[in-house]
Amino acid sequence: MSETSQLTYQAIVAPREHRLQLRGLQHRILQWGPSDAAPVLLLHGFQDCADTFQFFVDAMPREWHFIAPDLRGFGGTQWTNQPYWFPDYLADFEALLDHFALHESVRVIGHSMGGNVAMLYAGVRPQRISAVVSLEGFGLRRSSAERAPKRYAEWLDQLHKAPAHSTYASVEGLAEKLLRRNPRLTADRARFVATAWSKLGDTRYELRFDPWHRLVNPVPYRREEAEACWRSISAPVLSVLGGASEYRQALDADGDTQRFHQALGRVTVADLAGVGHMLHHEAPELVAEVVSQWFVKEGVTP
């Protein structure tokens, strides 16, 4: 019997799950902590889901209230079964704030893609965000306009065939793959993530995100536009980086990590040595310590 089949992470703070209609799609929402406390919004990364913030939540003070949606097309939130467009995540996030009557400024923590959503929204609606934590949510590499014809052609070609998922014989098999790809994970956390990420299909386990996310984005990433939004952020920003992150290394080579921070008015940078891109999976206690201390320093604790 493999190590991952014997171990799974046991949550300390139990999540509360409910469904919510946002902009025509049923969203799955998790909450932790006292519901009468002012919330902190958590936004997950690409192909991830709200569940895997569990390690981070368990390491945070118990009086904190967290709200985490599965973003459209991920986890337990409804799929569109067609191509996805990034601005929809900004509109979904605003609808989430409106539903919870969060008309005062709020605190948000986002990882990777969720960090990019949080950072863009904080610049587009600066009055609605009081503090933002970016966990490796520093944008994508610049793309050349010369690649546009090829990207559009590739996207059109992909539309002719419905995308398919990779499948796995078992949750344990997926957990073992996660451990091979990221040896900084522990076996119990890998099993927890694999369970959160997968569901049983007809005979095999499938990943819980819409395979239409796999299509190339036909619209080239325009980093200059992202930087313009970041310059409009008025809230303090904590940028948490993984010292061993493969994504961060590519941006460092182009000088874009530095330019990301230069675009921000009030930014604190925490560079965690030996931690990779999935830093809240790998070192949740360290991330929680850095985040909670920064919230205290900025005076934005519950």
Binning pLDDT at 50, 70 and 90, where does residue 101 land? Answer: confident
- Residues 234-247 pLDDT 10s: 999 999 999 999 99
At 40 the three-state DSSP class reads strand
pLDDT at residue 100 in the model: 87
pLDDT at residue 34 in the model: 95
- Residues 58-80 pLDDT 10s: 999 999 999 999 999 999 999 99
Mean pLDDT of the chain: 94
What lies within 8 Å, CB to CB, of 79 at 6+ separation is: 73, 210, 212
Q: Give the helix, strand, coil percentages of the chain, each rounded to 5.
A: 40, 20, 40
At 33 the three-state DSSP class reads coil
pLDDT surpasses 80 at 289:
yes
The domain 3-162+209-298 is placed in CATH, from the list 3.40.50.620, 3.30.420.10, 3.40.228.10, 3.40.50.1820, at 3.40.50.1820
pLDDT at residue 201 in the model: 87
- Residues 186-227 pLDDT 10s: 999 999 999 999 999 889 999 999 999 999 999 889 999 999
pLDDT surpasses 70 at 53:
yes
pLDDT surpasses 90 at 4:
no
pLDDT at residue 1 in the model: 41
pLDDT surpasses 60 at 2:
no
Query: Locate tokens 């076996």: which residue?
Result: 187
Tell me how far apart the alpha carbons of residues 294 and 239 are, in angstroms, rounded to a whole number: 11
pLDDT at residue 7 in the model: 81
The mean-pLDDT minimum among 100-109, 178-187, 192-201 falls in 100-109
Residue 238's DSSP bridge partners are 133, 268
Helix (H) or strand (E) holding 202: none
